[in-house]
Structure formats: structure tokens, C-alpha cells
Amino acid sequence: MGDITVVKFGGSSLADSNQFKKVKEIVTSDNRRKFVVPSAPGKRYKGDHKVTDLLYMCYQLASHGLNFDEVFNLIKDRYTEISKELDLDVDIEGFLKEIRYNISNGASRDYTASRGEYLNGILLANYLGFEFIDPKDLILFDEDGNFNASNTESNVSEKLENISNGVVPGFYGANGNGEIITFSRGGSDITGSVIANGVRADLYENWTDVSGFLVADPNIVVDAEPMDIVTYRELRELSYMGAPVLHEEAIFPVKKHGIPINIRNTNEPLDKGTMIVDDESPVKSKGITGISGKKDFVVISVEKTMMTLEKDFFRKLISVFETNDIFIEHMPSSIDSISIVVQASQVSHKLKKIIEEIRIFCNPDNIVTYPDMALIAVVGRGMIRTKGISAKIFSALEKSSINTRMIVQGSSELNIIIGVENKDFDKAIASIYKAFY
């Protein structure tokens, strides 16, 4: 299909007519930008509401038989402003009337939520002079509401093949019965990735309100440097710990064919942003690419002499967590002990029960729990080949008088996970950052 860039714009990038103008500038300044994926209008200022949240609220009120006009009027104002200010040739009143009618008459939660993207797509297509393509005919879900990646891929390639410029609203698709199904919140990022994969784009640009990822959380490290390049795998390791610029599932569709993602800032279009590239790309690294982390874990440490000689020991131990519906984050071990690291919120009211069950089922010598633990992931593709990285990390922690409680070298060989007490979390991140930047 030639040189194609798929561009996705987030909610704040399309929050009002002024933002629409910036988006048009960006799209029209490069004719490779052939397919545009919009979110619903987001917040215009702090304290403002996202249209998607307003739609969910309309659904909630309607499903309880309550009047939702007040909330619906806020939505109406948002689209009317955009349409009027940009002088668009769209019967926005008519579309809104139909949607309002459908919500009043029992439309589903997903249908209701998806209308934010749908309407923004109609307005944007008109403004850009691009074809509007409804994702209900493009993005396919099965009867259980699961995304059908392989059928969607062929469907997208086929249906978009002869379209030179199109707008495909983000966030939703439909099942075999034509019922609208949405991705999880923030899912327009996934739509963009799916379209980029389907048309075999050369690049997937994801435009938002920050100039890419920062090496560390700016609330902790005020002047944290931006990340120029990060690989898909590194980003997974970082996003797992909570760096919510991009929906974590948005990597998978483009990963298949190694299409890079460029995170860009609609309000600072000259900034290069962060490039997310294939793991095989020959990219240099300073040693570490990013630092992220999360507080509030509990470590359950189980001791038993000769545990490794009991063939069923680990299975039994893990089944206690499985049957209590708990996700295990990490399991560092030594010869006669194993630690199970879980999120505190998951075990809070079940901890006693779990310990009792481990006692009954595994018959350990001792069980000790350590609450209030934080985990920090130091991630870097260059780590395996560079000497002295861990020395630098741990001497930085030591200099800041931080006690390291746990160390896991990730099996991906591109991260080191460090457990510290919650109270040392910010200080630990700041001191590791300082040691490298």
C-alpha cells in the first residue's frame, strides 16, 4: 500500500474546536498520515469531564429509569461547539437525537460509551475531508465479547485496501450479531494499533498531551529526562509497574510486524516524542532505559528445610493462591525458602486464611509476612551486556541509607526488580535516577 502512517489522537487532543485545528495541521502536514483514529473528546482543563464518562453516566441513569437530560446536554454542548466553530457540514443535532433515543430505549452500556468516539469520528472526517469508516464493520469481537485478532486483521486489510484517506473511530467494534462491543478504557490506543497492523503501516503515531515517556515519574524526579527510544519488551516491563501513557494491550497488534509506535504531543508537535521499537532493532542504550514501581505489596515468606526435595511442594503452595483467586507477582526463592509477592489489595481480607491453608497443605517450618513493601523495576535492554549496572544501583541505594529487602533479576534479562519498604519508595527511585542521569 506504500508509505502509510496511522495516527491516533487521544481525548485531550480532540477536546474542543481549538484542538481539532491542531489535529488538522498535524494530519495535513504529512501525506503519509492516511488513517486517523480519534478518541472521544477528553478533558479541556483540570476538573472537566471526559465525554466517555458522561456517556457511562447517561447509561447508568437510563438503566435505572431516571432522567439523564442534564448529563446528555453536557455532551451535546461539547459536539455542538466543535461543529459550529469549525463550520462543519454535519447534522450533529440529528445524530445526538438518535443516540438519546436509543439510550432511553435500552441501548447497551457498550453502545452508549462508544458514541463518544463515533460522533468525534464523524466530525473529524468531515473536517479533514476523509472518508468515515465505522469500526462496527471492521473491528470484530466474538459472542463472549473477546476481540478476534486474526479475523480483524484480514478484515481491516481487505476493507481499507482501496481507501486513500479514512477516519476510524477508536475504542469499539462489533460482534457477529452487529452488537457494539468496546475495548477496556483507553482502548482507542488498541484500535490504532489494530489498524496500523491491518494496513501494514510503516509507523503508528500515538498523539497525546505529553512528549513521550519519561525515564522516571516526574512526581518523584522533577526534571526526569524523556525516553527517546524504548523497545516493546522494555515498555511491557515498565507498564506492568504502572506508566499509563499507552494502553498496555496496544503493543501486541503492531508487534507482530515490528511496526514502530511514536508517542507524540499534539500541543508540542515539534517534539520528537518517544519511539517504541521492535526488540530486534539495533538500538544503543545508556544501560538503563526507565525506572518505575509500585507500592503496597505483601511478601509471604515460607520456610521449609529440604522443600526442593518434595516434588509436590510448589504445586501445593501455588494452588493455595490459585484457589483464593490471587495473582502472584514474583516468587524469589532460596534453597529452603520461597517468597510469594502479591499486591496487598488482593490479600487484605484473606491473608489469615491463606496462611492457615499453607500451613495445612504444605506443612512448612515457618511462615513470615512482610507488609508495606514497594517494588521498583529498573529496566534496560543494555543491562545484560553492560558491567557495573547493579553495582551502581545498589551503591546509590546504600548511599541514601535505603535497605534493599528483595532483589529479583527478571527472567527477561532486561530488568532488575528491587523490593524496598513503602516509606523508602520515592527516595529509592530518585537515587537510582541520579546515579544514571
Residue numbers at the binding site for ligand ASP (CB under 6 A): 11, 39-40, 50, 52, 116, 170-171, 185-189
Q: Please state the closest distance from residue 431 (CB atom) to ligand ASP, in A.
A: 35
d(CA 381, CA 252): 19
List, in order, residues 6 or more apart from 99 with CB less than 8 Å away. Answer: 115, 119
Minimum distance from residue 214 beta carbon to ligand ASP (Å): 21
Whole-angstrom Cα distance, residue 297 to residue 108? 37
> What whole-number distance in Å separates Cα of residue 408 and Cα of residue 428?
16
Closest to ligand ASP by CB, 192 vs 212, is 192
Query: Toward ligand ASP, which CB reaches closer, 169 or 380?
Result: 169
Shortest spacing between CB 99 and ligand ASP, in angstroms = 15
- State how far the Cα of 41 lies from the Cα of 47, in Å rounded to an integer: 14
Query: Judging by beta carbons within 10 Å of its beta carbon (0-12, 13-18, 19+), is residue 370 exposed, middle or buried?
Result: middle
Closer CB to ligand ASP, 16 or 426, in the complex: 16
Three-state SS for 274? strand
CB of 48 to ligand ASP, least distance (A): 13
Name the DSSP letter for residue 288.
Answer: -
- Cα 107 to Cα 104: distance, rounded to the nearest angstrom: 7
72/90 Cα distance (integer angstroms): 19
Smallest distance from the beta carbon of 41 to ligand ASP, in angstroms? 9
**How near is the Cβ of 39 to ligand ASP at its closest, in Å?**
3
> In terms of CB distance, is 116 or 273 closer to ligand ASP?
116
Grid cell, residue 406, equals 528483595
Residue 177 one-letter amino acid: N
C-alpha cell at 321: 493462591
E-assigned strand segments in 317-409: 333-334, 337-343, 366-379, 406-409
**Which residue has the closest beta carbon to ligand ASP?**
188
- Report d(CA 122, CA 134) in Å as an integer: 9
> Which residue is listed with cell 546515579?
435
Distances (CA, A) of 269 to 40, 122, 130, 210: 20, 24, 21, 10
Which residues, 6 or more positions from 197, have their beta carbon under 8 angstroms from its beta carbon?
A: 153, 156, 253, 254, 256, 257, 259
Beta carbon of residue 189, minimum distance to ligand ASP (angstroms, whole number): 6
Q: State the minimum distance, in angstroms, from the CB of residue 198 to ligand ASP.
A: 18
Q: Kindly tell me which of 112 and 175 has the beta carbon lying closer to ligand ASP.
A: 112
Report the alpha-carbon distance of residue 74 to residue 350 in Å, rounded. Answer: 43
Q: Which is nearer to ligand ASP, 233 or 247 (CB)?
A: 247
Cβ-contact 238, 379 below 8 angstroms: yes
> What's the closest the beta carbon of residue 112 comes to ligand ASP, in angstroms?
12
